[in-house]
Structure 1
């Protein structure tokens, strides 16, 4: 049974209702020794509390898209096939822009909000550089299939979720496509493609969007494999001029870091309530050493850059961020 499915939601609602009704029906009707009756009543109360907490969790999870499935929740999911040392630039010496095109099969994404505004599509991508194997969600602007735009390539915004968080959150919780679609149709916003890749790649840890040999190559997944797949399969502008990254919380840190670290791959970044030092997320793999923290801190990267990277940064947050 799917963690975010309607069947599981209705099951938790039914169990909560039954658990609430049991004490009213059986409290004074129990028979047997006094200790036994006390134990049964205690179990009924515990059952009521457990089902209530479960129902609240399911409602919150469905509303905020924190965990996609049972593997995410239980910390048993792993989307890393290999994690080779790819060097400072994250390419491993691979001329990735010259790699043959790989056509992906896309299906209709399911879940709250995923069918709105023309619908979101999803594919399973095997990263040829990063070694990551995970899903990527794509939304196309209303002009994409307009004959007047048939020769037009579109800019892309790569959307990064927080931790924990699902790649669906931008569509299912924040409804970004539903807000943009009427604005694009009205000509108030220029059309662009939205791409939301999975960022939670290993169990019980935030990757910090970093490349960590032997563990994960999240940076290369997001900045190389995903953009290559998008330009291979859609009329998308090439990097860097046609690409921006946007994120919230841990995803905001990633967006700023990716753009600052790779001005040859992104031209802009939008950071919503992010942070600079990876230690801002206690489960971040990029916070495990001083060297990793510095290498993945956009403020440090900017301060130490020989030439300021040609990127635009749009940041929002509190003073503590």
Structure 2
């Protein structure tokens, strides 16, 4: 039974009243010696408590899309098929290899009741990264309009936090529902929204969206394989001026570092409640490696770039460790043509804070990434 499916939600909800009924009905019927009766009644109480905890977990998980599968929850799934040497970071961003042949993907509806029906999913085998995983794609209202036939569209990659599933931006963040009317009215550019899997390793390990030798090519997966799939299957322009990346929490850290590292792929980034130091996520692979901990810090990347990257950054965060200080540090270090726009926010480190920011952030993005 699927973790995020409706059947499991219904089952977990029904088990709560059932456990209470069983507790009341069987409490006086438990027989045997005193110790046996005590153990039996304790078992009934524990069963009622467990069903209540499971129901609450399912409701919270479905609302926030933290874990997409049982494997994600248990930390047993690996999406790393191989770890080949990654391509040069400054290499071409428009093809996986000379003479690249398009790979046409099959897309299906997303099996998640929280995700809108117009969002499609494909299983992608990363040719350069050795990573396999799902990628969700939503096309704007104009995409199938005959008036736009033959037109190309800008792209935004959406990165969830950790833990977080590829469904989170379309479910708990409601990104497509919020932006569709703004796109129709012309207030927001008609972006194709692409949300790839970011949880790749077993054991509840955050990759830090980096290429870690011998472990995972998460960065190559995000900036080469996923964009190449979009280029192969949708009407998009390969030029960086038509691409952006957005994320929240750990995904915000990833969005910032990917944009700074690959200005030949991304023109802009939105980062909500991100951080610079990889130790912002204690379990990230980059934080555990002294070298990666240093060089995968967006502030280090920006200050050590050979030439200032031509990227625009929209960085939201609160004070006291919620990202504003890190955003202001990047603003202070930025040199033209890099632009950094820190936005102070209030509220908890949660979807309830980030979701209302979507219209404003994507309106800002429309100034830099256009059709």
How far is the alpha carbon of 1:151 from its aligned partner?
Answer: 2.0
Change (3 A) 1:93 1:66: closer
Structure 2 equivalent of residue 15 of structure 1: 15
The aligned counterpart of 1:67 is 67
Residue of structure 1 in register with 2:158 after alignment: 159
Question: Is 1:141 equivalent to 2:140 in the alignment?
Answer: yes
Q: Which runs of 4+ in 1 moved over 3 A?
A: 90-95
Report the alpha carbon displacement of residue 126 of structure 1 after superposing the two structures with TM: 0.7
Q: Which residue number corresponds to residue 213 of structure 1? A: 213
Deviation at 1:102, TM superposition (A): 1.0
How far 1:236 sits from its partner (Å)? 1.1
Quick one: distance in 2 between partners of 1:220 and 1:299? 20
Separation in 2 of the partners of 1:235 and 1:317? Answer: 34
CA contact (8 A) 1:91 1:220 kept: no
Please list, as runs of the form range in 1=range in 2, the aligned pairs for 1:112-151 lying within 5 A after superposition: 112-116=113-117, 119-151=118-150
The normalised TM-score by structure 2 is 0.82
- Looking at structure 2, the residues matched to 82 and 92 of structure 1 have their Cα atoms a distance apart, in angstroms, of 22
Partner of 2:199: 200
Between the aligned partners of 1:8 and 1:113, the Cα distance in structure 2 is 14
Distance 2:34 2:105 in 1: 66
- Whole-angstrom CA distance in 1 between matches of 2:44 and 2:142: 57
Contact 1:90 1:220 in 2 (8 A): no
For 2:201, what is the secondary structure of its paired residue?
coil
Deviation, structure 1 residue 91:
6.3
Residues in 2 aligned to 1:143 and 1:92: alpha-carbon distance in whole angstroms: 29
- The 2-side partners of 1:172 and 1:213 are apart by 33
Q: Distance in 2 between matches of 1:92 and 1:175?
A: 33
| Structure 2 Cα separation of the partners of residues 46 and 78 of structure 1 | 33
Find the counterpart in structure 2 of residue 187 from structure 1: 186
- Check conservation: 1:83, 1:214, Cα contact below 8 A: yes
Q: Are 2:73 and 1:100 equivalent residues in the alignment? A: no
Other structure's SS at 2:158 match: strand
Cα distance change, pair 185–44 in 1 and its aligned pair in 2 (3 A): same
Aligned partner of 1:231 in structure 2 is 231
The worse-fitting range, judged by mean Cα deviation, of 297-306 and 251-260 is 297-306
C-alpha separation between the residues in 2 aligned to 1:88 and 1:113? 38
**What secondary structure sits across from 2:283 in the alignment?**
coil
2:305 aligns with 305
Q: Which residue of 2 aligns with 1:168?
A: 167
Alpha carbons 1:113, 1:175 under 8 Å: kept: no
C-alpha displacement at 1:104, in angstroms? 0.9
- What SS does structure 2 have at the residue aligned with 1:245? strand
Residues 110-149 of structure 1, C-alpha deviations (whole Å, 9 max, x = no match): 2134335xx0011111111111111110000000011111
State how far apart, in whole Å, the 1-side matches of 2:65 and 2:302 are: 33
- Structure 1 residues 259, 198: CA separation in 2 closer, same or farther (over 3 Å shift)? same
Q: Which residue of 1 aligns with 2:352?
A: none
* Cα distance between partner residues in 2 of 1:113 and 1:41: 38
Measure, in 1, the Cα distance between the counterparts of 2:147 and 2:114: 28
* CA separation of 1:90 and 1:38: change in aligned 2, threshold 3 A: farther
- Shift, 1:206, TM fit: 0.6
2:358 is matched with which residue?
none
- Give 1:177 shift: 0.2
User: What runs of 5+ residues in structure 2 fail to find an aligned partner?
Assistant: 324-371
SS at match of 2:61: helix
Matched, 1:42 2:36: no
Q: 1:279 to 1:88 in 2, by over 3 A?
A: farther
CA contact (8 A) 1:121 1:139 kept: yes
What does the per-residue CA deviation read over 1:246-277, in whole Å, with 9 as the maximum and x for residues that have no partner?
00001000000000011111110110001111
Aligned residue pair count: 319
